[in-house]
Structure 1
């Protein structure tokens, strides 16, 4: 049997198919937009990149910039859109300086029609501004719950007006940016808390399982050696060697568990190192303390982690090799950076591999160099060693 289909029915079916495809396309675009919004709320880098693009587009500007507040009085331009040169990239803007620093300090939008000629602002950043041909510029703080999370900028390479609709659009971008950065910061802290909890869980599980097993094996080896004392010398030597290997493995295992159980730095560099000294003293019985000399500026979370990791590696070497009676960690601002010194009164780490040539210190020195810092190990005149770590503020 042949079924005839009219051209009208075919056309209607085709149009219905096109309509469904169009609806699915719209829904797909909506899902992409929702995905982008979720990313903006969870990742501050993505949020800042989107803010630089949005303020440029919504204000009809030549350049869009976005920078988070990375310490109490420091703004850093981390994302940009439409720049010619790289002078504004990762530019550090202290509170009160330039246009963004003024907006940061006064918690209000600020704009100038001719940046380099303006008497409203300081001119610390005229060179990178001129390199990008900027004339008129607007800065709006991203404020949430009374706290400035960052600043967004719109800039033109000609003299124009940033009042009215453009100003309203920039303020809307800044308001949404403040929420995004606040949420991203909360998400980051939750991730760090969850990671710290997971490290502690793994450390506890390892301690209860592998640690107990190592202890049991060591005990059995010691028991075998006791019963084999009347046997062959070769057997006794083999048992002693195995016992020493187990002891070394157990020591490395304890160090791994200790590292897993250490939280990320919190409460400031000096406070974190004081906590490490207290843990070191409880573990070893060796007197240890950390002192902060003067006020130490914030060198950023990544460099702070590098300093803490280096100090912990130095403490570990003191514990393993120095036979020290006391350890002093000092923190001081020095040469546009932060210096942490770990000094002990021990025997100078008699194990040559530890004194600057060990894997731990070599890898630590590499991490310090990656952030532009330096690390040295020097002999003290009255005995012992000092490990000195310096990192720049930016």
Structure 2
């Protein structure tokens, strides 16, 4: 069984830039990742010229450079006359004809990983709702990058696939690490409001689940359907977490966790959570 490929950073950035333009309604959006205190613009949508493509923004310079260093959004309602930024990049920004420009950093583990921008060619009102939307897009991108980084770290532990075994099998210790990542990923996905982001995260879940499957355990055909939340709770229980720890991981009430566990146990005809986990694994519901 071939495994779905992980999206590259470039693909994730391109999606986020497209989402930013669509969701804010601003006609032009662009962005790039940080390298050596510089952000190179590698993705642009809605542009009318080539001025923005390949633009390199240095830390603390211009609107995006300030957002990068200060780790907070920056807004220029009238970019041309703004006195709050340096004008190192006027040739690119004004050459594109941008008047209002908003820059938001992509924050990952306290570090600004890059910057997203959205702008308009005419002075435009910029309300709190638009700012929240842009921050959400940047936050969703940061979540996908964090998940991708974690999955890559786990996949690096795996043996290389071969023609006879396209899905590499792993030892017991690595399998537990993959199962832990699977549970963490479900916890992250549970807090993501964007349905398209959740669907992309589910592809990674399937990848981890397939890789961490234990072929030595007897398979079982189950006529059981667990809800997403029941699977979330059960995957955490599989790591030995208590109800309180599961509640903290999934941002649920402890009583709610108990209800989901009891429901999953009943569906799986299991007397304990450990028995429920074992049966779910035999049936392929959990890795």
- 1:51 aligns with 16
Spell out, residue by residue over 1:3-22, the C-alpha distance to the aligned partner (whole angstroms, 9 max, x if none).
xxxxxxxxxxxxxxxxxxxx
Q: CA RMSD in A?
A: 2.4
Contact 1:44 1:180 in 2 (8 A): no
Distance 1:97 1:123 in 2: 8
Spell out, residue by residue over 1:237-293, the C-alpha distance to the aligned partner (whole angstroms, 9 max, x if none).
xxxxxxxxxxxxxxxxxxxxxxxxxxxxxxxxxxxxxxxxxxxxxxxxxxxxxxxxx
Distance 1:158 1:120 in 2: 19
Between Structure 1 and Structure 2, whose CA radius of gyration is higher?
Answer: 1
Aligned-partner SS, 2:117: strand
Is 1:100 equivalent to 2:69 in the alignment? no
TM-score (norm 2): 0.51
Contact 1:74 1:94 in 2 (8 A): yes
Distance 1:89 1:194 in 2: 37
Is 1:63 equivalent to 2:28 in the alignment? yes
Determine which of 84, 90, 99 is the counterpart of 1:126: 90
Distance of aligned partners of 1:114 and 1:180 in 2 relative to their CA distance in 1, 3 Å threshold: same
Distance 1:149 1:194 in 2: 25
Spell out, residue by residue over 1:20-39, the C-alpha distance to the aligned partner (whole angstroms, 9 max, x if none).
xxxxxxxxxxxxxxxxxx87
Distance 1:75 1:180 in 2: 19
Unaligned 5+ residue runs, structure 2?
162-287
Contact 1:94 1:101 in 2 (8 A): yes
Unaligned 5+ residue runs, structure 1?
1-37, 200-394
- Bigger RCO (CA 8 Å, 6+ sep): 2
Q: How many residues align?
A: 159
TM-score (norm 1): 0.38
- 1:215 aligns with none
Distance 2:32 2:129 in 1: 23
Contact 1:42 1:183 in 2 (8 A): no
Once superposed, which parts of structure 1, at least 4 consecutive aligned residues long, lie more than 6 Å away?
none
Distance of aligned partners of 1:126 and 1:57 in 2 relative to their CA distance in 1, 3 Å threshold: same
Distance of aligned partners of 1:90 and 1:190 in 2 relative to their CA distance in 1, 3 Å threshold: farther
- 1:166 aligns with 130
